[in-house]
Amino acid sequence: MEVREKVVIVTGGALGIGRALCQRFAREGARAIIVADVNEAGAKAVAEEVKGRAVICDVRKEDDIIRLIRFTEETFGVVDILCSNAGIIVLGGVEVANNDWQRIWEINVLAHVYAARAVIPGMIKRGGGVFMITASAAGLLSQIGSAPYSVTKHAAVGMAENLSITYGEQGIKVFALCPQAVETEMTKQGGGVAAVDGMMKPEQLAEAVIEGFKREQFLILPHPEVKTYMQRKTADYDRWLQGMRRLQTRFFQGVPLKKSSGR
């Protein structure tokens, strides 16, 4: 699947992964790039950089996403690729306040539901399209130190799986982007346990997305180690859980992290 001459929407496009995706899509020769973000100044800056269009969009609001899709279809005729990329992290466990659970659920999960609901019918009518969800390795493994992030990213992966199963025979190519730690505002204070295999630059991740599109494989894993960790998890779930507990102990006791067979 090529990006050249495609009309692309990137939510959360003002910073980090979203910005890098917009820049990379521009280099690939996308016909139009719509930079969608609640950060108006950031969205406009990236749109100017990639010669795209900025749309102010709060992904927690379904009406905003509907307006985003409608604007793109009316302006350019199609939406070829939608990168449902916006996401946040909330640290803590089950004790996290209800309003924080609600907020991360709306951004990390419901936003993908709203986007799919708004864009996929039109894609099917036009013969196909691409829908990518930026999930995380936390959605395949777990996130030590953040139950809300782990839970919502698992849900995001599940959403992508269901979309692929439901619409794959109708021309919709679905991708789940699942990196470990990436150098963004979210990881400014460090990537935590997710950085055990190193911090990736957003530009490297964007390159992995282009390669993933070309291979047309559901899972895009910029950190290849994640596949090995998944295989160990499914091979012996209890052993994997024990390994994660050990990793958690080392992390919270401040012991330097190394690659762990339990991860």
26: tokens are 């521009």
Contact 21, 83 (CB under 8 A): yes
Residue type, 45: A
Q: Which residue has the tokens 């050249």?
A: 4
**What residue spans of 33-143 are helical by DSSP H?**
40-50, 62-76, 98-105, 111-125
Catalytic residue among 114, 149, 167, 229: 149
b vs e for 216-250, b when ≥16 Cβ sit within 10 Å of the residue's Cβ?
A: eeebbbbbeebeebbebbeeeeeebeebbeebeeb
Q: Specify the amino acid at residue 177.
A: L
Residues in Cβ contact with 152 at an 8 Å cutoff, skipping those fewer than 6 apart: 104, 105, 108, 109
- Residue 74: partners with Cβ closer than 8 Å, 6 or more residues away: none
Start-to-end CA span in the chain (Å): 32
For 86, phi then psi, to 5°, come to: -60, 140
Looking at residue 49, its amino acid is: E
Please indicate whether residue 114 is annotated as part of the active site. Answer: no
Q: Which one, of 177, 184, 211, lies nearest residue 199 by Cα?
A: 184
Residues carrying an active site annotation: 149
